[in-house]
Amino acid sequence: MKLISYNVNGIRAALKKGLAEWLAGEDIDIVAIQETKAMIEQVDLSELEALGYTAYFHSAEKKGYSGVALLCKQQPDMVNVGTGIDWIDIEGRVIRADFGDLTLVNAYFPSGTSGEERQAIKYKFLDAMYDWIEELKAKRPNLILVGDYNIAHTEIDIHNPKSNKKTSGFLPEERAWMTKWFESGMIDAYRHLNPEEQTYSWWSYRAGARAKDKGWRIDYASVSEPLRDSLVNCTHRKDAVHSDHCPVFLELDL
């Protein structure tokens, strides 16, 4: 199975920048998209459908905000939007699909950069997501959670750790949650396969950060312990420039 997880920062904008053409040159079974910023009826899906994808959306109630989607070449056995937790689901942050005994969750974690109120919501989300995944994992042990986690876990995951220690996305409490997450039976696929590599998945639009490769690794593919031996490859596709993020590519031998 070949999958990419991609925060496109607006799916309509990404399609205008050539997202479908880029996908046409790839062999990707599932595209997990974050930050769609659109309802499904607002998106011209014809180019994606021509590539063999069926689209499933979970959009925020607030227009032009948040939202996740799955583009699948193989029909899932089940697609479930949301978590059943209302305050999370109104922001369109989680979509789940089951393929046989494999469960894929695509999630867009909140950012706390706009102030203390959103940072508090981010911490609340982290706790709720941890518990929700623990319950799901007990029923569906072969689990993948991809998405924009909006947290750089360790100093190797951020270009300037010293100056960002008090910045949302690299706060001690957020990083501690990531450690707890990866000690709970979830594996950081990229770091597992590339233990020393320093590479990023997001760059600020300011000061030529991408050209200088001054970025953060905040987009992850986590797999549960039973899938450890299925991991083949996990890379960052920096050639894709439809967003301020790049796709995370994940390949599993199932």
Select which of 77, 98, 148, 157 is catalytic: 148
Name the residue with tokens 């479930």: 80
Q: Is 148 a catalytic residue?
A: yes
Task: Find, among 29, 32, 30, 2, the residue nearest to 245 by Cα.
Answer: 32
Backbone angles phi, psi at 103, to 5 degrees: -115, 130
**What is the widest separation between alpha-carbon atoms in the chain?**
47
SS3 187: strand
Name the residue with tokens 């305050």: 87
Task: Find, among 125, 114, 47, 127, the residue nearest to 91 by Cα.
Answer: 125
**247 vs 14: CA distance, rounded Å:** 12
Q: What string of DSSP letters covers 84-108?
A: S-HHHHTT--EEEEEETTEEEEEEE
Burial (CB count <10 Å: 0-12, 13-18, 19+), residue 103: buried
Active site amino acids: 148
